[in-house]
Amino acid sequence: MEIANQRGANASFCPAEPARALAAGETAWRALMPAIRQAAAALQAEGLIEASQRGRPVLANAARGPIRLRLAPGHDKQEGNL
């Protein structure tokens, strides 16, 4: 949620950003993507973040391909795993 809180509810981010921040190597972030998507899905289920694809709302754990994440409106400065 650190990246989401930094951006606020008006700006989105790619789930690869937290994966890259956590990864030990330049390409190791890809292995973290399933866990990042699961964390995003859990936060989405709690109503803390929103996921979108091509500007349309999607479920973070069901969407195929690139997605964007952002804080859900009214949830600035929350704590969590992203």
For the stretch 47-61, pLDDT in tens is 999 999 999 999 999
**Could you give the number of structural domains in the chain?**
1
Q: Is there a domain that residue 16 lies in? A: yes
CATH of the domain at 28: 1.10.10.10
Asked if residue 62 is part of any domain, the answer here is: yes
Q: Give a yes or no: residue 82 inside a domain.
A: no
pTM greater than 0.85 = no
Tell me whether residue 49 is in a domain.
yes
Quote the pLDDT of residue 44. 97
pLDDT average, residue stretch 36-54: 96
Whether the CB-CB separation of 40 and 19 falls below 8 Å is answered with no
Residue 81 located in a structural domain: no
Is 44 inside a domain boundary?
Answer: yes
